[in-house]
Amino acid sequence: MTKPPRAAIFFYDEDSQEFKVCNVQRSQVQALIDRAMAMPVLLEEQNTPNAAITDEDARRLGGMLMLMQGTTNPDLRERFKFTTERPMNWESANRGEQG
């Protein structure tokens, strides 16, 4: 029997100041997914069929998820002590909060 497709939900809990993740049946959140802007996550060897998913891919994805939470949690941004390819422009994230 095939298990139903799943979706991982990653979020920052401001009360506990922790990152949290949960795994739910995709059918439970499909309407939200359909309305969201889904961004493809490019892997290092994207052009190679069945390419390995590397440590670097995992680090990049984790960093991207944390940075996405930082766009709406200014206090969290101050805790980030990792390097990004380009400096973060949090001003553009702040403008999005005003709308």
pLDDT band at 1 (very low <50, low <70, confident <90, very high): confident
- Which residues, 6+ apart, have CB-to-CB distance to 69 below 8 Å? 10, 11, 12, 19, 76
d(CA 26, CA 40): 17
pLDDT digits (tens, 9 = 90+) for 12-69: 999 999 999 999 999 999 999 999 998 888 888 777 778 889 999 999 999 999 999 9
Query: Can you give the pLDDT at residue 99?
Result: 46
What is the CA angle 10-58-12, rounded to 5?
Answer: 20
Q: What is the mean pLDDT of residues 65-86?
A: 91
Q: Which residue type does 47 have?
A: N
Domain boundaries, the chain: 1-38, 49-99
Give the global pTM.
Answer: 0.79
